[in-house]
Structure formats: structure tokens, C-alpha cells
Amino acid sequence: MVGQSLKNLLLFFIAFNSSSIRINAQEYLTTQAKSGDGITVLLNRYNLSRYGSNLDTFLQINELEPNSPLLLFKTYKLPIYVFDYNGKNIRTTIGKDDYDLAISIQQFNENAFENGVKKVDYKKSKKLWVPIHLWYAHETDSIEFKDISKQEVRLDHVENTADGNTVVRTEIFPIFGKDYEETIILNDRLKGQVYYLISGHGGPDPGAIGKKDGHMLCEDEYAYDVTLRFARNLLQQSATVYMITRDTDGIRDQEYLENDKDETVWFNQSIPLNHVKRLRQRSSKINELYEKHKNDGVTIQRVIEIHIDSRYETQKVDIFFYYYPGSSVGKDLAEEMYRTIKSEYEEHQSNRGYSGVVKSRDLHTLRESKPPVVYIELGNITNEFDQKRLLIVNNRQAIANWLTQGILSKNGQ
């Protein structure tokens, strides 16, 4: 039970811990392209090409497209961090007491030296290479019981039932912020299922923008708050949850959410300005994680992407859903979430009506993500009526609750 808790917990600790990854590190290792080099050839020289995260990072840090040619003698950054070796050991050099990680890094450096890629052994050069695929693989795989004190997995919340005492886990997730980080795990209804949550836009792109009483309303901030609440709900059902778009704001109970540009994407990567690169960055991360979980035997993996629409101010827009043409799983989930929200409106606001729809669309995330995807638009951020759905805190929580209920309903629960 605690082991499963740790698997869930790691999803929220990686990005917050990773901000300090390179405190002792220099910039990325650089190299010049040789005659005949393509991206794959260059990465293969350093034994990096087989890991998708290395390719993604190489493209991002060099601002390249996947089919971009490499220019002869041009210097490129490699997805390898360079640390100043302290002459003692690898663990104290990188500031992580992880024996398996240290051994992997040592083997990588020794192989690079034996193959002639690294001209001088790291013990002599005092330069230690740490490829990101090793670093992040151990970040996601090496959470151990010794870390429980940091994560504060508590077994102290007890409910009495007719069958005896049922222990309900209370876990701490800093990504939710101080007011919400304590999260009671209610049950195991979604145990073994993986959900990748994307809140739209972020970083240099605030998305759709509305105005209200002199305040600027940015899509990325409100979509993120709803997505974060949705993530917390899923965790309470013991799902494994990845926040693909990430921020440090936590869940906020204010009407007006201040805009910033410090959002990142899974593995602590900055969000590119280029629209196509942003989309590719997110889908590639999801696909990489999907393959990992698939190899571990996970059969239910889903992507939920949440946006807020922008239309004419006079046009009200109810919550609507997209799925990829031909995706029966995506369509079924979208329709179940639609039915859930429609029934909630009919029960609580029977006089307003509900005009949300479910449609197929050929959007990047829907097309390129390996797990089935549901793409959601929450309303029109420029419409005064729809703005209430976003500004009122209880409404944002209600949306998250209804989306969660749609997931549970689809699971027959």
C-alpha cells in the first residue's frame, strides 16, 4: 500500500526537486558537428540516441526541428550535464546519495572514455558527464522508503466502519500549495490507472485572454487551477497522475489569478515559444511515459487536456469535448464526461439548459498521443456569463469534481 503511495507521490516531487538539479553543474556539454552528421548520428556517437528524452532535449536546447540538418563545424549542445568532479566520489559531486545512479554515471563516463568520445578520464579531467536520461530515469525510479519522512506519508487518519477500522492515507503533495497539499487518499477505485493531465498553453503563451473589472484573465492560469484540482481528485482515488504542464502556484482560491510565465513541462523543461515545438514537446513526453507504463503492464492510460475558449464576448459556450476521429475509447470517455456534466447541470441548474457537445477533431495532441485523449474547452473567457464559471472558486472545484465523476462513471463506479 505504501509502495503504491510512493509511485503516486513521485509524480509531484520530481519537478519541484529538479529545479535544483544543476546547482553544481555547468551548462550542457557541447560538440561540433562532423561531416555526415545528422541528429541521430551525433547522438549515437555519445550513446544517447536510443532514449527519446535525449532527442527531445537536444531539439529544444538547440532550437531545432526533428528533420533539421546539422551544419558542419557548428557547435551544438548535448543532453549531458557537466559537473566539476570533486575528486572524492560521484554521489557527493552531484549532490545525490543514490548508489545505483552513481554507478550508471560512472559506467557512462568510462564507456565514453574507452570509445574515444571522452578524451580524458573524468578522474583526471575533473569533468563528470551526466546524461539526462540517466538523471531522470533515477529521479522517477529511485524513490525509496527512506524518503517517507520527506514525503510525509501518514497512516494516521482512521475511519470506523461496521467491518472494523479502515485506515485512510493522508499524503503531502507540495504542488497543490500549502492550503491543499495534505491530501486524503479515499480509496483504490482508480488504482493501476495512469492519467496525463495537460492544462493548455503556459510559459510564453498565456492562451486566450479576457478582461473583468480591470483584471486580465489568462487561459493558462485558470485552466491550470482546474486541472490541478482535477489531479488532486484523481489522486484521492489512487490513480497515478502526471501533471504535464507544471507551475509552482498551487491551487488558488482567489477570483483573479495573477499571470506569470514560469510554467514548465514534465522533466522541468522550459516551454518553447514556437507553437509546434510546444505541442510536440508535450506529446513526446506523454508517449515516452506511456511506453514505460505499458511495459510495466498498465492497461488503462488516458490523456485529458483542458483549455478555455475565446470567442465573441456575446457568445456563451458550455463545456464541450473533442476526441480523435476513429478513437472509440476517446469518444466513449468524452461522451461519459459530457453526460456527467449535463446531468449535473440538469440537477442543479435545471432552468439554464446545457448546450455542450462532443465532436471529433484532428488536433495535435489527439492525433500524436499514444494513449486515448479527451480535449476539453471549459467556456468562453471573454464572455461575462462564462467568466463566472472560472472566477468563482466553487465553480472551478465543481468542474474538477464533475470531470472526476465522469472518469469514475466510465469505470463503472
Between CA 390 and CA 142 the distance in angstroms is 38
**What is the pLDDT at residue 353?**
74
**What is the pLDDT at residue 140?**
39
Between CA 167 and CA 155 the distance in angstroms is 7
C-alpha 218: how far from chain center: 20
**One-letter identity of residue 134:** L
- Residue among 264, 243, 251 nearest 21 (CA): 264
C-beta of residue 27 within 8 angstroms of C-beta of residue 77:
yes
**What is the pLDDT at residue 2?**
39
C-beta of residue 268 within 8 angstroms of C-beta of residue 18:
yes
- Residue among 181, 327, 301 nearest 240 (CA): 301
Between CA 330 and CA 305 the distance in angstroms is 12
Between CA 80 and CA 357 the distance in angstroms is 46
Q: Within 10 Å of residue 175's Cβ, how many Cβ atoms?
A: 22
Query: Which regions of the chain are under pLDDT 50?
Result: 1-23, 138-162
CA dihedral 122, 127, 133, 137 (to 10 degrees): 80
User: Which residues, 6+ apart, have CB-to-CB distance to 118 below 8 Å?
Assistant: 109, 112, 125, 129
Between vectors from CA 144 to CA 141 and to CA 146, what angle results, nearest 5°?
Answer: 155
Domains detected in the chain: 2-141 (no CATH), 186-410 (3.40.630.40)
Which pTM does this prediction carry? 0.66
Helix (DSSP H) and strand (DSSP E) numbers for the chain = 14, 17
Long-range CB pairs of 281-286 (<8 Å, 24+ gap) are 281/56, 281/60, 282/198, 282/244, 282/245, 282/365, 283/364, 283/365, 283/368, 283/369, 284/52, 284/56, 285/53, 285/56, 285/244, 286/196, 286/242, 286/244, 286/369, 286/370, 286/371
Strand spans (E) along 109-256: 127-131, 154-161, 164-172, 182-185, 194-199, 209-212, 215-218, 240-243, 245-246
